[in-house]
Amino acid sequence: MSVVPAFVAAGMATALAAPAGWMDVDSQYGGALPELAIRSSDSAHDWPFSVETGTLTCVEVSGQKVVLFSEPWREDVPQVYGNMTLPRSVIVSTNPFALLASIEDRALYRPFDSLETLIVRLAPFEKMGRALCDGDAAAEREI
């Protein structure tokens, strides 16, 4: 038996065993997730990302607010339908366990010498992203 089908089967079993509504995204935004375009040159805080610009997005899943940072669409590679290079995204959180979800795209974080350094850099951006979920436009501009 191949490893991939075994993982797919295990993932499906986990999803089916999950409590009802675990994938319900709060629909208060009318289908569009709140986003905030940010750039390093506008930031008063220590910039935690390896790219100069991007977007913060807040998603509320089962009552938990999750803040994501995404790089812009790449223009240095051909973007052909069916063969696109999707932007990388990482979790913006002060919870070290939440950061494990971004392990695949960790190069999107600026190099750091310790987890503490990364968390200190991410803290103000997590606050801005959570304000998006709350609909607080004044807090969004605290870049």
Decide if 62 is inside a domain: yes
Tokens found for residue 51: 């790219």
Decide if 11 is inside a domain: no
Decide if 58 is inside a domain: yes
Decide if 13 is inside a domain: no
Mapping DSSP to helix (H, G, I), strand (E, B) and coil, where does residue 60 land? strand
Decide if 2 is inside a domain: no
Decide if 18 is inside a domain: no
Q: What is the pLDDT of residues 87-105, one digit of tens each?
A: 889 999 999 998 888 888 8
Contact 81, 70 (CB under 8 A): no
pTM above 0.75, yes or no: no
Give the torsion sign (CA, 89, 32, 34, 66).
Answer: negative
Decide if 14 is inside a domain: no
Domain total in the chain:
1
Decide if 93 is inside a domain: yes
pLDDT at 141 over 60: no
Contact 122, 66 (CB under 8 A): no
Give me the domain span that covers residue 68.
23-140
Q: What is the pLDDT of residues 29-51, one digit of tens each?
A: 444 778 899 998 888 889 999 99
